Amino acid sequence: MAGYCHWQVTDDSGSDVTWNKNDHDEVYGIGPEVVYFVQPWKLFISLRHIWEFEAKNRPEGHITTLTFTKILF
């Protein structure tokens, strides 16, 4: 399992802000993650898919991540 929580802790700033600067983003995400180690190549491969939920003041979506991690020694 993988997941995250995102909370905006400071107000928006800058000349492009046309909305209420006190509106803070918030979202949660959870989903499965699979990790495989290819021993002859010393390589980790991971695939993760996260579903976001309970988003406030921002869009809600999905994230899929494929990661390769190589051991160099």
Q: Flag whether 49 is in a domain.
A: yes
Question: Would the pLDDT of 20 be above 80?
Answer: no
**In which domain, by residue range, is 66 found?**
1-6+26-73
Question: Would the pLDDT of 49 be above 80?
Answer: yes
Q: State both tokens at 45.
A: 């491969």
Phi, psi at residue 19, to the nearest 5°?
-115, 180
Q: Flag whether 64 is in a domain.
A: yes
DSSP annotation of 18 reads -
This prediction's pTM: 0.74
For the segment 57-61, the average pLDDT, to the nearest whole number, is: 92
Q: Flag whether 14 is in a domain.
A: no
Q: Flag whether 11 is in a domain.
A: no
Give every CB contact of residue 47 below 8 A, 6+ residues apart in sequence: 33, 34, 64, 65, 66, 67
Domains in the chain: how many in total?
A: 1
